[in-house]
Copies of this chain bind each other. A is one copy, B any other.
Amino acid sequence: MKQNNGEIRSIGVFDSGFGGLTVLRALLEQLPGADYTYLGDTARLPYGAKSQATVARYAVSSARFLVEEGAEYLVIACNTASALALDAIRDAVRVPVLGVIETGANAALASTATRDVLVMATAATVESHAYAAACGERGLRAYEKACPLLVPLVEEGWIDHQVTDEVLRIYLAELLAESAEKELSPDTLVLGCTHYPLLRANIARAVPEGIRVIDSADVTAEQVASAIPHLKGEISVAQGSRLFYATDSVSKFRRLGEKFLGTPIDEVTLIDLGG
């Protein structure tokens, strides 16, 4: 592994799809001077329903591609890949690798006074219990809840929408009731899916007072910035390069991706990583 993060200029960001663009968006705000290469493995999504062996194979081939393209630091901006394949990726590449589940758990540790945290995530992430494990390693208790309607609502574009507010109200009421049954006293809610930052305003409206919301996109960017402090000092310098790769339809990537990134995506290159 590269020992001197001071040399790093080029950051690779990986997700199975578009959600990781919320992490890239936060990185662009905090470290605009770095060079970025984003890969969405859109031909093989969703990872969520696939076995650990298959997810690891897909994620390792994606990580290797980013390193071959020059990435000196990898951000695994995909909860499923972070949950199931982080060790396999670290074994396969010789650059530092950061996953969104550990950054979320780190932020929960920094936030909570009660040491009890809530996690909203996809069904696959919850079934892996990766957040509970990462929180447990940090001495925290985590109660995880699958919220399978939130990704489809985001992808339908129903962001500022009464149906989405109602769905969030129902999920949060169930989450609080279920965690109370387990005698938890949570003061922190981790958004354990890279789609959820698009619902940040809706979630802020729905969450009761006294519970702090952790946006894993923001906290991941903060932890990358801390790991590569020399880039943080370069905010006033000229913007670095931004390259986008996808394994399926580039037109769909541009169209959907702009919602997540918040700015237009000029060019996406189609690549083939195999089946």
Q: Which residues of B contact A248 (CB under 8 A)?
A: 49
Give Cα distance in the complex from A152 to B248, angstroms.
Answer: 23
Smallest beta-carbon distance A167→chain B, Å: 6
Q: Mark A153-172, 1 if CB is under 8 A from B, else 0.
A: 10110100011001100100
Q: Mark A240-275, 1 if CB is under 8 A from B, else 0.
A: 000000001000000000000000000000000001
Q: Which residues of B contact A163 (CB under 8 A)?
A: 163, 166-167, 170
Smallest beta-carbon distance A273→chain B, Å: 14
How many chain A residues touch B (CB < 8 A): the figure is 16
Give Cα distance in the complex from A158 to B171, angstroms.
Answer: 12
Q: Does A148 contact B (CB under 8 A)?
A: yes
Give Cα distance in the complex from A162 to B167, angstroms.
Answer: 10
Q: Does A204 contact B (CB under 8 A)?
A: no
Give Cα distance in the complex from A166 to B152, angstroms.
Answer: 16
> Which residue on B lies nearest to A46, using beta carbons?
B46
Q: Does A149 contact B (CB under 8 A)?
A: yes
Smallest beta-carbon distance A3→chain B, Å: 39
Shortest Cβ-Cβ A-B pairs, 10 listed: A152-B152, A149-B152, A148-B156, A163-B166, A275-B275, A149-B156, A163-B167, A148-B152, A163-B163, A149-B153
